[in-house]
Every structure is written in C-alpha cells, then in structure tokens.
Amino acid sequence: MSFYSQQVPGQQQPPTSSTAGGNDFFYNQGSHGQQQTDSSYQGYTGNNDAGHSQQQQQQQQPSQQQQPMAANSQQWHQQPRQSVLSSAPAPAAASSQPPQPMNLWTPGVQQKAAATFMQVAGNGFSGQSIAGAAEQFGKDFFDEGTAKMIPGFEAAMKRLRVYFGVDNHYVKKKMQRVLFPFLFKQWKRLETESTNPNLAVEYALPYSDENAPDLYIPSMALITYVLLCALCYGTAGQFNPEVLPDVTTKCFVTQLIEVMIMKGCIYSMQTSMDFLDLFSYTGYKYLGLSVNMLVGLAIGYLSSSESSNGHKAYYITFLWTASAISYFVLKTMANNIPRVTAKTGPKREFMVLGFAASQFATCWFVSQTKFLN
C-alpha cells in the first residue's frame, strides 16, 4: 500500500482510482517521479513534526494560563475575606463585672446548718437525731435558698403555709366540727397580737385554733373522694382512667364558681373576706362526700347485687352530711362576715343563708351515684 493512502492531518485525501492503470501512472514516472515522491514524503514528515510541535505548544499554553487564573481566583477569595474582617466591628469589651450565679448557700442557711450540726453532735449522732435534723435542715434550706430562685414563689409559700399549719389534734377536732357541728357552741376565731402594722387584726394558726380555716383537710378529702368514685366505677365494671380527671375537674370548677359568686356577694356588701378562706370553708364538703361514698360502697358490697341498698344508704348519709356542712358554713360565715355592711347592698342575713344553702346544692351536684348498687 502506498504512503499516499495515508491521510495527512488537516488535509482531505484525494480520491484514488482503483484501476491498475491509475497505479502504473505513478510508478512509471522514472527518476523524476522518485524525487518527487521523496520530497513529498519529506514534506509530509515535516508537516507532521510542525503540527506535533504546534500541538505541544497549545497544550502548554493553557497550563501556563491556568496558573495565573488560579492565583487570581485565590487572590479574589482572600480579598473579600480581608475586607469583611476589616469592616467587621470590633468585639465589645467584656464587662468588668460578669453576672454571678445565684448563691443558695446564704448566711442564714450557713447559720442553720451549723446549729443543726451542733444539735446532732449534742445528741451523740444517733440515727433518730440525724433523721430529724436532716428533715429540719431540708425545710430551712428550701425556705432560705431554693424558694428564692422562682419570683413570687417565696411569697406564695409564706401565704399558703398559714393554711397548712395543722397537727393531729387539730385535724381530729376539725373533722368532728364539720361532721357534727350541732354539738359546738364556740365559732369565733382566736385573735392574737398583730406583728404586722398593716393588719388591724391577726388570727391564730390552725394548730392553735379549731375555728381557723385550713387547706389540708379539703385537699386530702378531695383526693379521697376522687379515689372512692374510681372504686365505685371499678366495682361496677365501668372504670376508665378518665374518671379521675373528670371527677376532679367537676369538683374543682364547681367550687371555683361557687367561691367567685360568694366573693362577688361579699363585695356587694362593701366588706371583704380572703379568697383562700372562702376556698377552705367551701372545701370541707368533700369530707362529707367521702363519708357518703364510703357508706354507700360498704352497704352495697354487703347487700345482694339485685338490691340498690348502696344507693339508698348514700342518700340517707347525704341528708346528714349535707345538713351538717350547711350548718357549719352558716355559723362560720355568721362569725366572720362583719355585722356592719353597706345599707344599699344585699342584706347580710340573706347572704349568710344563701351561702349555707349553696353547700347543700353543690354537694348534690358533684355526687357520683350512677353505679352504686
């Protein structure tokens, strides 16, 4: 095959004749044809070398151009960063007095801790003395340290502490007074010397006065009543976890509406009475409701399943407890609402009778006797 059949880069291959005559024409040229062929071959190789060197130059040229471009791009990335850093404001100087964490180990707590340790050491580090001292120190630490972390919590605890200052003697006497009020004649609260100049009259704490209101008995009686209602539903095979919040919400909302109405009536008489006092007096009804439910469950369990003796026993007990709590509120309000009220407002006597009657109505409303036998 002749070298003429090879295609030179960049040139088009001329058409060749496939006949023998065409080929003999080139081979019969003699010396002149041979020289022409050699020169053509040399021209072809020269053109190839020139093209190869040109191609190498073109390949080197972009690599040389890429280096300054990479340098320029790196410079361009660095310049905005420097400009941003230079334009960014300087950080504010640290305050000379950084905020200090709340210190719960106050001097008062330190003094009580030292006194507690001396008390335990004086008792010979016995187990009973250590347990009592630890309990007392925990209360002191809560009063002096932890209670100050929440705004307003310390003031709220000091106010509620008055209503939970009870002991066993007070709880027993108060339950007797609520369930059997007809046996008691003294209903006036015990007054003490006022240490607060803003208060004209200051009353004794519950453990010193049987007529003082408290929130311990109402809260415990409410919990007991809710659990007894759940037991009533369970014995009838109708228990549902939603019974607990439903009964609690019904009792609490009913009492809250009752207290707000009583507070409005007292305000209309242009006199005052503490909201928590009213909440305490109206909360003693849960003690009677617990007794009603307990009697109804006991009689229903002892009697046959076909009879409804538990339901009857509940309402027989209800007549006593509802009358007792109504009489209790009547005597309590009569001795706590001032006798001198506004002439234009409602009559004091009618309001006291209305407050007493409301206990009978609310006790019936929050009763849960649907599944009593």
Task: Provide the percentage of residues in the chain whose pLDDT is more than 90.
Answer: 38
- The beta strand positions in the chain, using DSSP E, are 191-192, 202-203
Under a CB-based contact definition with an 8 Å cutoff, are residues 332 and 281 in contact?
A: yes
Under a CB-based contact definition with an 8 Å cutoff, are residues 17 and 4 in contact?
A: no
pLDDT band at 22 (very low <50, low <70, confident <90, very high): very low
More confidently predicted of 332 and 77:
332
Question: What confidence score (pLDDT) does residue 104 get?
Answer: 52
Question: What confidence score (pLDDT) does residue 263 get?
Answer: 93
- Give the mean pLDDT of the chain: 74
Q: Residue with structure tokens 């040399």?
A: 42
With a cut of 50, say whether residue 205 has pLDDT above it: yes
Backbone angles phi, psi at 149, to 5 degrees: -75, -30
With a cut of 60, say whether residue 247 has pLDDT above it: yes
Where do the structural domains in the chain lie, given as residue ranges? 107-149, 178-366
> Which of 100-114, 197-211, 349-363: highest mean pLDDT?
349-363
Task: Provide the percentage of residues in the chain whose pLDDT is more than 70.
Answer: 57
With a cut of 90, say whether residue 300 has pLDDT above it: no
pLDDT band at 262 (very low <50, low <70, confident <90, very high): very high
With a cut of 90, say whether residue 217 has pLDDT above it: yes
Q: Picking from 32-41, 64-73, 325-334, which range would have the lowest pLDDT averaged per residue? A: 32-41
CA 273 to CA 174: how far, in whole Å?
21
Q: Write the CB contacts of 214 (distance below 8 Å, at least 6 apart in sequence).
A: 163, 164, 165, 166, 170, 174, 206, 280
Count of CB atoms situated within 10 Å of the CB of 285: 31
Count of CB atoms situated within 10 Å of the CB of 321: 21
CA 292 to CA 274: how far, in whole Å?
29
With a cut of 90, say whether residue 122 has pLDDT above it: no
Question: What confidence score (pLDDT) does residue 16 get?
Answer: 43
Question: What confidence score (pLDDT) does residue 155 get?
Answer: 72
When pLDDT is averaged across residues 272-281 and rounded to a whole number, the result is 92
C-alpha 372: how far from its chain's center? Answer: 38
More confidently predicted of 129 and 61:
129
| 331 torsion bin: left (phi>0), alpha (psi -120 to 50), beta (else) | alpha
- Tens of pLDDT, residue by residue over 128-163, are 667 666 666 566 656 555 556 666 666 777 788 889
Length of the chain: 373
With a cut of 70, say whether residue 227 has pLDDT above it: yes
With a cut of 80, say whether residue 273 has pLDDT above it: yes
When pLDDT is averaged across residues 82-97 and rounded to a whole number, the result is 47
With a cut of 60, say whether residue 78 has pLDDT above it: no
When pLDDT is averaged across residues 16-41 and rounded to a whole number, the result is 42
When pLDDT is averaged across residues 188-206 and rounded to a whole number, the result is 80
> Which of 80-94, 136-150, 185-199, 203-217: highest mean pLDDT?
203-217
Question: What confidence score (pLDDT) does residue 280 get?
Answer: 96
Question: What confidence score (pLDDT) does residue 45 get?
Answer: 43
pLDDT band at 103 (very low <50, low <70, confident <90, very high): low
Q: Write the CB contacts of 359 (distance below 8 Å, at least 6 apart in sequence).
A: 282, 285, 322, 325, 326, 329
Question: What confidence score (pLDDT) does residue 97 get?
Answer: 56
